Amino acid sequence: MSIRFSGTLKRSAGVASAIAKQTRLLNLKPVKNIVVKFDPFNKNVKETREFLFSLTGSKVLTTNISCKIKTNILCDRSQPSITFTLSNNEVIVFKSANLTNLELLQLYNKHITPLASTEEPETIVPQTKSEKKARKKR
């Protein structure tokens, strides 16, 4: 008698590919304003900076050209944070002192990226040849 299969069929390809996968899923459409605050002399700032780097990639920026990304450099050794102001005026704050780049991306894709899919785009139905001919005849 065999037990049910448990475990993975594929092995994980590492942190870098996980980050790449999350970055591909990123969609800035629901966000109208991003403010990243960090103090460069704070110890916990590496992952925030990496996240800022992921957010400002050219492919990610093209998902929403009107989204403004601003960086505030703090000088008071306070903890880093990322504030997203959505287009429906909701404000979401990520306190990124103890989060890694991958976790930040996963959180974003869990909470904010699904909001982009709720806005369904108008699908253009391509016209068939007979339809075009009928239009021309008119």
Any contact of residue 114 with another protein (CB under 8 A)? no
With respect to another protein, which residue has the nearer C-beta, 3 or 16? 16
Residues in binding contact with another protein, number by CB under 8 A: 14
Residue with tokens 């103090």: 39
In the complex with another protein, which residue's Cβ is closer, 50 or 103?
A: 50
Q: Which is nearer to another protein, 15 or 134 (CB)?
A: 15
- Considering only residues 61 through 90, tell me which ones interact with another protein, judged by CB under 8 A: 71, 73, 75
Q: Which stretch binds another protein (CB under 8 A): 10-18, 47-55, 108-116, 127-135?
A: 47-55
Binding site for another protein (CB under 8 A): 40-41, 45-46, 49-50, 52-53, 56-58, 71, 73, 75
